[in-house]
Structure 1
Amino acid sequence: MARPGDQTVLDELHWRGLVAEATDEDALRAALAQGPVTYYVGFDPTAPSLHHGNLVQLVTARRFQQAGHTPLLLIGGSTGLIGDPKPDAERTLNDPETVAGWVERLKRQVEPFVSFEGPNAARIVNNLDWTAPVSILTFLRDIGRHFRVNKMIQKEVVKTRLESDAGIGYAEFSYQILQAFDYLELYRRYGCTLQTGGSDQWGNITAGVDLIRRAEGATVHALATPLLTRSDGTKFGKSAGGLTVWLDPEMMSPYAFYQFWFNTADADVAQYLRVFSFRSREELEELEKTTAERPAAREAQRVLAEELTTLVHGQEETVRVIAASAALFGRGTLGEIDARTLDAALREAPHVRVEVAGGTPLPSVADLLADAGLVQSRSAARRTIEEGGAYLNNERVTDVDAVPTAGDLLHGRWLVLRRGRRSMAGVEVAAG
């Protein structure tokens, strides 16, 4: 029986710009309307953490579940040992113990995006469970025989590698067979009839559709999301200006994660909200209007940053991050920020490290303002203090010769300097 969201989930995905390709969209729409569909999306543990490029697939999985369908989140314990072919060079293979550890980390990272309760509860699966027991002879006889090499070499990344000096090894060349085998096994084990993924995976995804047709005589579905680009035409992917936006808080602090999204360009924020936000169409269109009329308010960026940080790191962590952001610019109490969040926040901001030998006084506020780059010179720093524009830990400094004391150190380590309302820097004090 159809659920209320079933007949609109594809329309919703289209409006949000999340449909690039589908094997047969009319057939998929009919299947979604007929009742719960079990679908899967896969993530390979080729690093200790997923990154912001994976978020498109995670939020798409969440949307299908909210429409009443059942998600399988696959962590590639076997495919992660091989790695999807890169267009430019052979992958460096990681040892099995490392990959196994990354599998466990990725499992924890995908959990917040779906629900594991109710009639369409999600399930996390590992393809090593069905790949490892299969002998090479069984795999070649039962799976490999369904693949045609002339078709396999037409995959874009394979063609690129074959035309390069590096060529392509058999392991990476066989990756598409392994991924297709996943779809077949999930079809057999769980009745999975839909795979989603990025459009760069389309060849691998359709290989699975074709394998199920050949091996089981069944018709299943595939849907690919587009690869996002920024307004300047650059790819929205693993790295952003040299920065990798990891989902693991040990590799990128929640504060830095929040700031990345808060700093989204006005030209990109409307697109990102449609892709990543779970707010209604009416709310998002209103935010688009607000951004166009009052871009300096950055309301759309705030919504994007808060929603994604909450989804990835949780409500409690997001509250800490927002409080820290406010306090650093004089709109809260610095002393209430926990040490971990303050440390992460000030490392993201302009900061300077000062080493002080035991018993030696700290440099003056004027010296620190100059050393931190908030003013161009010490004389400019003194003028700033005289004019009432200098702050230490959100307290206005009125004495041009003022010197911080050990009691001013936040968590025994940090000072926060500010010039005016918007220019802020941290001072890390260490024993010399």
Structure 2
Amino acid sequence: MTQQTTEFQSDVLNELAWRGFIYQQTHEELDEELSKGPMTLYCGFDPTASSLHVGNLVSIMGLAHFYRHGHRPLALVGGATGLIGDPSGRSTERNLLDEATLQANLESIGAQLERVLGASRTMHRSEDAKAGEPVAMVNNADWFKEWSFIDFLREVGKHFRVNQMLAKDSVRARLEEREQGISYTEFSYMLIQAYDFLHLNQNEGCRLQVGGSDQWGNITAGVDLTRRRTGESTFGLTFPLITSADGKKIGKSLGGAVYLDGEMTSAYAFYQYWINQGDADCGRFLRLFTFMPREEIEELEAKIDAGENRGEVQQRLAREVTTLIHGEEECEKVIRASRMLFGEKIEGLNDRDLQSIFAEVPSTEVERGRLVGGELGLLDALVETGLQKSKGQARRLLEQGGVYINNERVEDVNKVLGEEDLASESMLVLRAGKKRYHVVRFV
């Protein structure tokens, strides 16, 4: 491993270093080779779930920066390795996926990678940007499906020494867990990933593999295998595993992982995750998770250092990352939704988004027929939801201008709720006074 330096010959390593991406590299010569012209590189993503999460975003962004500097990145989805399971960073054995689940995961993750890497071509582009064709997607199942077990042992396995494999951090850590240990299946994962690098080197001219620092052992195994089989020098580069200033793993919230799939983590919840980051993390996360120019980021960092940030930096961070993952239109929608908690009219939402916004607000389910049939008066609803103790209190509050439906004041004491009052497919929001909200869902 070489030490990170402050200046590189190649533009891409200079940018990656400033943004905090470089953790390990196999050879100092990588810088010189990158400065000579475009290089083909790859990063692998295993489809162990139906969505990537924020932790994966570090590697995606690293790949995108190479792309934006004119290099040729390949995004590998592990149709073969996904059936095995990578022991790196794991204390327990992964559950093996069936092929139907794996295929569904591959399609979902492939679409996410295409969307994010595609967006990287246009966000904050400089005039001399060099990125050209869309990033190529490859699947290692395409070359492993023809292998027999015996052939793989003869052609690949013979190049590995068990004592060297046992010395790798990912394997050694699992062996120290005496009760769990490691299966031969996961122990073999390193060989398969190493062959991926060899295959892409021979068929795509790939000379660099990048990934998280937990992939160091797998990456160096691929570098060694390629050198033994071809005599060619190839390179490895890893990115740090990111934690927040308080030591929490990036991409984790109180409810679990923060996913890139809007069905698993809504765009609103995703936006709020970034809004809630502390000042101590914002500058670093702007560097890692956005394509904003250096000058703009440093201006925002200076605002934090001067104690002048009043949430503007978090808002910029949330806007940039949400736009990257969910698109500008969806980002504008969640920003508008955020304002609804502070009195803006609640409208144009679906049930999922409304539930995300008002996740901490009490709710009541009411039979849908009462809404359709005009059987639920507003005063009754205020009492049934517990916002008011009696219809008399509800009437007095309404006459004083303190009753709202979807943040719009109601003045009619005889108001009967109807479908036109819904803020989403099945829900509306009542408010008593300035801050007492209640979600009513019609089922």
Conserved in 2, the CA contact under 8 Å of 1:367 and 1:381? yes
Alignment of 1:68-217 (within 5 A): 68-85=70-87, 87-115=90-118, 119=132, 121-163=134-176, 164-217=178-231
Q: Distance in 1 between matches of 2:311 and 2:32?
A: 41
Q: Which amino acid aligns with 2:229?
A: A
2:235 pairs, out of 221, 229, 239, with 221
Provide Cα deviations, 1:245-294, integer angstroms capped at 9, x if missing partner.
11112222222211222222222222111111111111011112334456
Matching of residue 410 in structure 1 with residue 413 in structure 2: no
Question: Kindly tell me: are residues 334 and 40 of structure 1, through their superposed partners in 2, closer, same or farther at Cα, counting changes over 3 Å?
Answer: same
Q: Distance in 2 between matches of 1:290 and 1:368?
A: 48
Q: Which amino acid aligns with 2:180?
A: A
Partner of 2:442: 430
Partner of 1:29: 31
Question: Kindly tell me: are residues 403 and 190 of structure 1, through their superposed partners in 2, closer, same or farther at Cα, counting changes over 3 Å?
Answer: same
Q: Distance in 2 between matches of 1:23 and 1:68?
A: 22
**Cα offset for 1:387?**
7.1
Q: Distance in 2 between matches of 1:28 and 1:19?
A: 12
Conserved in 2, the CA contact under 8 Å of 1:291 and 1:299? no
Q: Distance in 2 between matches of 1:380 and 1:175?
A: 68
Provide Cα deviations, 1:222-252, integer angstroms capped at 9, x if missing partner.
1111111111112224x32232211112222
Conserved in 1, the CA contact under 8 Å of 2:349 and 2:423? no
Which has the higher mean CA deviation after the structures are superposed, 315-324 or 40-49?
Answer: 315-324
Q: Distance in 2 between matches of 1:366 and 1:23?
A: 66
Provide Cα deviations, 1:313-339, integer angstroms capped at 9, x if missing partner.
1222222222222344334x433x143
Alignment of 1:42-61 (within 5 A): 42-61=44-63
Q: Which amino acid aligns with 2:350?
A: A
Conserved in 2, the CA contact under 8 Å of 1:291 and 1:298? no
Question: Kindly tell me: are residues 351 and 290 of structure 1, through their superposed partners in 2, closer, same or farther at Cα, counting changes over 3 Å?
Answer: farther
Conserved in 2, the CA contact under 8 Å of 1:82 and 1:171? yes
Conserved in 2, the CA contact under 8 Å of 1:198 and 1:226? yes
Matching of residue 361 in structure 1 with residue 376 in structure 2: yes
**Cα offset for 1:411?**
3.9
Question: Kindly tell me: are residues 339 and 165 of structure 1, through their superposed partners in 2, closer, same or farther at Cα, counting changes over 3 Å?
Answer: closer
Partner of 1:300: 313
Conserved in 1, the CA contact under 8 Å of 2:77 and 2:110? yes
Q: Distance in 1 between matches of 2:217 and 2:12?
A: 24
Conserved in 2, the CA contact under 8 Å of 1:181 and 1:208? yes
Q: Distance in 2 between matches of 1:193 and 1:49?
A: 28
Question: Kindly tell me: are residues 211 and 321 of structure 1, through their superposed partners in 2, closer, same or farther at Cα, counting changes over 3 Å?
Answer: same
* Unaligned residue ranges in structure 2 (runs of 5+): 1-7, 122-130
Q: Distance in 1 between matches of 2:80 and 2:389?
A: 56
Alignment of 1:276-315 (within 5 A): 276-293=289-306, 297-315=310-328
Conserved in 2, the CA contact under 8 Å of 1:369 and 1:381? no
**Cα offset for 1:94?**
0.9
1:352 pairs, out of 345, 359, 363, with 363
Which has the higher mean CA deviation after the structures are superposed, 109-118 or 165-174?
Answer: 109-118
Provide Cα deviations, 1:330-351, integer angstroms capped at 9, x if missing partner.
34x433x143564354454524
Question: Kindly tell me: are residues 286 and 427 of structure 1, through their superposed partners in 2, closer, same or farther at Cα, counting changes over 3 Å?
Answer: same
Alignment of 1:243-282 (within 5 A): 243-282=256-295
**Cα offset for 1:390?**
5.2
TM-score, length of structure 2 as denominator length = 0.85
Which has the higher mean CA deviation after the structures are superposed, 320-329 or 123-132?
Answer: 320-329
SS in 2 for 1:197: strand
Q: Which amino acid aligns with 1:312?
A: I
Q: Distance in 2 between matches of 1:383 and 1:154?
A: 75
Question: Kindly tell me: are residues 379 and 136 of structure 1, through their superposed partners in 2, closer, same or farther at Cα, counting changes over 3 Å?
Answer: farther
Q: Which amino acid aligns with 1:38?
A: T
2:16 pairs, out of 13, 18, 23, with 13
Q: Which amino acid aligns with 2:265?
A: M
TM-score, length of structure 1 as denominator length = 0.87
Q: Distance in 1 between matches of 2:295 and 2:216?
A: 32
Q: Distance in 1 between matches of 2:396 and 2:280?
A: 39
RMSD across aligned C-alpha pairs, in angstroms? 3.0
**Cα offset for 1:304?**
1.4
SS in 1 for 2:49: coil
**Cα offset for 1:42?**
0.5
Q: Distance in 2 between matches of 1:420 and 1:297?
A: 27
Question: Kindly tell me: are residues 151 and 403 of structure 1, through their superposed partners in 2, closer, same or farther at Cα, counting changes over 3 Å?
Answer: farther
**Cα offset for 1:384?**
7.4
Conserved in 1, the CA contact under 8 Å of 2:53 and 2:259? yes
Q: Distance in 2 between matches of 1:293 and 1:380?
A: 49
**Cα offset for 1:398?**
6.2
Q: Distance in 1 between matches of 2:392 and 2:256?
A: 36
Q: Distance in 2 between matches of 1:391 and 1:136?
A: 68
